[in-house]
Each structure stands twice: as C-alpha cells, then as structure tokens.
Structure 1
Amino acid sequence: MSFFFKPSRPRSTPSDLVREIKDSLLALDTRTVAQALEDVEKNIASMRQMLSGDGEAEPNQDQVSQIAYEICKEDAISLFVHNLPNLGWDARKDLVYCWTILLRQTIDGNYCCVDYIENHLELLDFLVVCYHNQQIALSCGSMLRECIKYQSLAKYVLESTSFELFFKYCELPNFDIVSDALATFKDLLTKHETTVSQYLSAHYEQFFEHYEKLLTSSNYVTKRQSLKLLSDFLLEPPNAQIMKRYILEVRYLKTMMDLLKDKRKNIKISAFHIFKVFVANPHKPREIIEVLVENRKELCMLLDNLPIGKGGEDDEQLEEEKDLVIKEIQSISRPRRALS
C-alpha cells in the first residue's frame, strides 16, 4: 500500500510563510475572491499553528520571533488590518489570536510589532473606525485592546481625533458592540494612569462634556458601565487633581443627584459612590453647599432608602458610608451672604 502514500509537504519556514500570507492577501484584489480567501484562510491558520504549536509540541520560539520580524519587514501588519473587512469569520478569529502573540514578541529587547504600529499609527485609527462595521467590530475591538496594553499606542488613541468616536460607540443599539466598545473605552482610561491623568488635565472640559451624555444615556448598559468607570478612574491617585476639580462643579453634583433617583439598584449605588465624594469634600464651594442644603430633605430620604444587599462585608461598609453622608448633609449650614 506504499504506492498510496503521499509525502507530506515540507513545513514552510517563517519567511516563506509570511510571503505566502502577504501574496494571498494582495491577491484578494486581483484573483477570484473565493480562491483568494481560501488561500488566505489556509495561510493564516498555518501561522496560528506555527505561533501556538500543534497541540503535541510547543511552538519554536526562534520561529515565533522570526515570524514577527518577517511580518514587520514585509508590511504584513498593514495588510492584516486593512483586509479585516474582506476576511471570513475563521480567518479573522485566527488573525486576532495571532495578533495577541505577535505584539508580545521582542527582538533585541524591542517589541518589533509595537514599533511597527508606532510608525504606522493610522492603523490604530482604522481599528477604531471599524466599530462602525458590525461584521468586524468585535475583532477590531480585541485587536485594539491588545494595542492599548502598550503605553505609546494607548497615548496616541487617547489624543487622536478618533477617540471621540467612543462616545458614540458606547450608545450604539447593538448590545455586543456597545459592551465591546465600553471594554475598550475602560482600558483606555485605566491601563496607564499617568498618561490618562495628563490627557484629562489637557482635555478636561471637552472630555467631561462628552462623558456627561453617557451618564444620562437612555441605554441602561451605557449608563451603568460609564458610571462605574467614572468612579474607577476618578478615584485613582494620579487623577486626584481631576477629581478635586470635578467635585467643585454643581452641574456634575446635580447629575449624581438625578442618578440617585433612578429606579435601578446598580445605578443608585454607583451614583452614591461618586456623590459621597462631593459631600465629603472639606472645601465645598458655596454653590455646592446651597444645592445640598436646598435638597437636604430629599437627599436624606433617597440615601436612607438606598438599597443594601444581604449583609455582607461590602454591604456593611456601604451602610456605614451612607450613614456618614446623611450626617454630613444634615450638619451643613447655609453659607452666609457677604454684606454689600
């Protein structure tokens, strides 16, 4: 039966494989689409196997590093990103998997693929804009979050004009895309504290004007997640000056007061964690004090009825904080008007 045996095709070297991937991607514009897509899918699957192993043997690290190097040298990263809309589901899934591994590869101490993206920053803008494309939005979101792990790339996205698109993406009607966009938005605002602090200091008014719309969104997921995220990044030590500025503004206090009236427990509790910072501020401006005094009775009633859980440690802390805030509000005196 030996005459039925077909010798297996010798495994491609990293450089051969990358050239095959590049050629098949370029062929998407020049050949029969079905055949070209089949070749792309086959080649990207081969890359995934070389990067991750075949289930029996671990990947060869030298080959993995060589693939990363060749991909940068051949400009294949740009082809990966710009051809995402043309790929099928399996190819996109494999590519996202490979992207995660490739960005982690170092050559001579440098993240070669990250360096490549730093020199082709338009790729980040492309990934952000792709949230508009429902078919590839989640793939682009996954790839973008891998990029955001690196400070230089996160800094670019924060300071780019495309960053403002996230305020729109977080209110899209598609639940999966909204959830993914919020996850990316959260990473942008929490992964690199110093970078975020610098960005917020430089763009305070513009950022919080946009953010206010998320907090008052009719979309429950958007409202809840953006409210939770606000407390997460405002209370980070590097953002102390941003928080101090935020809690001096009456309009934001009133937003939290409105959210305390929400019928949903999670919204009420998340709003409380920000509202309490306004109340605890030892340097409350006159306008803040006047609003708290004028609404004292209603606020104390809202806080007294704040829904508490079943008595766990977190609930005990919440109960204690609630009582302290009520006492603070009750003790506030209306500021005296200056004599004219």
Structure 2
Amino acid sequence: MSFFFKPSRPKSPHELVKSVRESLLALDTKTVVEVKALEKALEEVEKNFVAMKNMLSGDGDVEPNADQVSQLTLEICKEGILGLFVHKLPILGWETRKELVHCWSILLRQKVGSSYCCLDYMENHKELLDFLVVSYDNKDIALNCGSMLRECIRFPTLAKYILESATFELFTKYVDLPNFDVASDAFATFKDLLTKHEMVVAEFLTTHYKEFFELYEMLLTSANYVTRRQSLKLLSDFLLEPPNSHIMKRYILEVRYLKVMMTLLKDSSKNIQLSAFHIFKVFVANPNKPPEIITILAKNHEKLLMVLHNLPINKGGEDEQLEEEKDLVINEIERVSRLPNAVY
C-alpha cells in the first residue's frame, strides 16, 4: 500500500531546502549520455519541488504553516536557491518547471518580517532578470520565464532595472516572433513593464525618449497585424497616463510620429484605424502645433478628410463621443488648410 512509501517524518524547511539544493546541483554531474542517471536525478528534483509546493501552499487537505513558509523562504534566499531555479530551468521537465513557477510566485510575494527577502535577493542578483528575458529565445521555457518575469515586475526596482537594461530592446523582437504563444506572452510582459509603475515609466521615458520611440516605431510599422494592433493600443494606454503628459506633449510635436499615425489611419483593419485616430486626434487638437505639423496637415488635408469621413464609426452608444471628436478633428484640419502660412 502507498503509505509504506511515505517518509516517517516530513522534512523541516531547512532539510527540504538542503534537498532541493543538492538535487539541483546533482544535475551538473549528469550528462545526456547517462540517460538513466539523469532521469533519476530529475525525478528527485521533481519530488523535492512537489514537497516545496505543498509546504508553501498546502496539499489540499492541510493549510500551509505560516512559520514554515517564512523559514523556507529565508532558507531559500540564504542558500541562493532562486539563482539555481533560473539557471536549471532549461534542463527540468515540463511538470517540474510548472511546480517551479508556482513556487516562484509564492516566494516573490512572501513577506518575512518587514521585508521581502526574495526581492532583496533579486535586487542583488539582477543578472537573473537578464537571463529570464533572453530566455524568450528558447520556446521550451519562454512561457515559464515570462510568468517569472511578470512576478518580478510587480516590484518597481526590478521593473526599473529591466527597462534600463540592454536586454529591454529585445522585446521589440520577441513580441513579433512567429510563435503566437511566445509573442503574446512577451507582449504581456512588455505591457506590464510600461504600465505597472507609472512614475518609473515616466522617468524612463524622459531619460530614454529618443531610443525608446525609435524602437517602438518598429512595432507600429510591423508587417504583423497583431503586433501593430497591440502596440498601438498600448501606446495610447501609457501615453495618456497623467505622469506621461510631458512625454505626450513632446511626442505630438514630431512630424515623424504624425506620419506613422497617418499611415495607420489608412490601415485595412477597422480596429487599427480607430486606435490610430485616438492618438492622431491629439496631434491635431494640440493648440501649440509647430509649423512642421501644420504644413503636413495642410498638405495632406484632402486625403486626411477622406479617410476621416470614412472612419468606421457605428451610430449611437459610446461611439457618439467618437463621432463628435471626429467632427472636431475634421474642422481643425479644414481650418489649418486655410491658414495663409500653411506651406504646400
């Protein structure tokens, strides 16, 4: 019967962390040639991860013990287990990786005393964040790493590091990957980075304005419909946040980005047209339009008016406000086209 195989005494947090550490390190001594030895080592890791998950979140019948959870968390940080989690992730089996992500989520959120010791560990080992980002290149672990990254991004200090790291620009590649699941997950992480912490993002955009929007233009002009649509929606989401108002004011002064919105207004997709309109209207409504913007609007006013008149807006409901906004934009374009200093 199965109870003959159960240990006589459950492991303490200290003993469990020691077993987890030893089983993960044992993977270094196994090679692909030693198939049976490697399989056995991986089974030992999985067994330890199940025990760890049960200690952290209970086993369905028994609730987790708060003191044990705190002790386990402290031991994991002290022994550098979080680093082992990240670096051993590629070699682990599918089920074990799932258990790892579950434990990671609980550990990162675990407050022991007055501090989050796992956060402290990650702040002192930020290279682990770089590893998780570049792992989007590995489709086998990409989704696991994405979940782990989003747990980290809940903390402003870790989000700030990723935004300012050299690996951040890789997201413009990852969100456009041909693998839909990986690309969607990468975009979810990218979105969290740009929306979770308003002040961190505002500071980042102020310091890295030119480089960021040059990269972002690649997303807005992507050949991939999903990338264009998601990126455009996200752009309006974070540009319209109050802390980013100074960024928006700067953005709407640039002819380069006005031309991008004008192109998107003519997109074959109704959704993209409407999303582009929400940003385009801010360029037009700006009472302090520079001469270059006025010139572009005046020079293209006939084409723009045609596009705007054909903008796919349904009558009634929430679209009434959109219809009013469209009329205001049309009137403003007609006005600037009649200005004596509008250059053609």
TM-score (norm: length of structure 2): 0.94
Partner of 2:57: 52
Partner of 1:329: 333
> CA–CA distance in 2 between the matches of 1:112 and 1:128?
22
> CA–CA distance in 2 between the matches of 1:119 and 1:334?
60
> CA–CA distance in 1 between the matches of 2:153 and 2:2?
52
Deviation at 1:321, TM superposition (A): 1.5
Q: Superposition pairs for residues 24-173 of structure 1, below 5 Å?
A: 24-31=23-30, 32-173=37-178
| 2:162 and 2:168 in contact (8 A); partners too | yes
> CA–CA distance in 1 between the matches of 2:293 and 2:341?
14
Deviation at 1:44, TM superposition (A): 0.6
CA pair 5-55 structure 1, distance change in 2 beyond 3 A: closer
Question: For 1:237, which of 238, 242, 247 is the aligned residue?
Answer: 242
> CA–CA distance in 1 between the matches of 2:184 and 2:144?
13
Partner of 1:207: 212
CA pair 4-98 structure 1, distance change in 2 beyond 3 A: closer
The SS at the match of 1:332 is: helix
CA pair 149-294 structure 1, distance change in 2 beyond 3 A: same
The SS at the match of 1:6 is: helix
The SS at the match of 2:167 is: helix
Partner of 1:287: 292
Deviation at 1:333, TM superposition (A): 4.5
Deviation at 1:212, TM superposition (A): 0.5
| 2:301 and 2:337 in contact (8 A); partners too | no
Deviation at 1:58, TM superposition (A): 1.7
Partner of 2:320: 316
> CA–CA distance in 1 between the matches of 2:297 and 2:3?
85
CA pair 294-21 structure 1, distance change in 2 beyond 3 A: same
Deviation at 1:57, TM superposition (A): 2.3
Partner of 2:34: none
> CA–CA distance in 1 between the matches of 2:2 and 2:258?
79
Q: Which moved further from structure 2: 79-88 or 102-111?
A: 102-111
> CA–CA distance in 1 between the matches of 2:143 and 2:126?
20
Q: Which amino acid aligns with 1:230?
A: L
Task: Among all aligned residue pairs of Structure 1 and Structure 2, give the percentage whose two residues are the same amino acid.
Answer: 67
Task: Give the superposed CA RMSD.
Answer: 1.6
Deviation at 1:311, TM superposition (A): 3.3
1:133-186 CA-partner distances (Å, limit 9, x unpaired): 010001000100100010000010011111111111121111111111111111
CA pair 333-296 structure 1, distance change in 2 beyond 3 A: closer
Partner of 2:283: 278
Residue 8 (1) aligns with residue 6 (2): yes
CA pair 136-305 structure 1, distance change in 2 beyond 3 A: same
> CA–CA distance in 2 between the matches of 1:303 and 1:75?
58
> CA–CA distance in 1 between the matches of 2:338 and 2:19?
75
1:259-284 CA-partner distances (Å, limit 9, x unpaired): 00001111101101100110110000
| 1:131 and 1:140 in contact (8 A); partners too | yes
Q: Which amino acid aligns with 1:103?
A: L
Q: Which moved further from structure 2: 4-13 or 32-41?
A: 4-13
TM-score (norm: length of structure 1): 0.95
Deviation at 1:100, TM superposition (A): 0.8
| 1:290 and 1:335 in contact (8 A); partners too | no
Q: How many residues align?
A: 335
The SS at the match of 1:83 is: helix
Q: Which moved further from structure 2: 212-221 or 300-309?
A: 300-309
> CA–CA distance in 1 between the matches of 2:83 and 2:104?
12
Residue 251 (1) aligns with residue 249 (2): no
Deviation at 1:4, TM superposition (A): 9.9
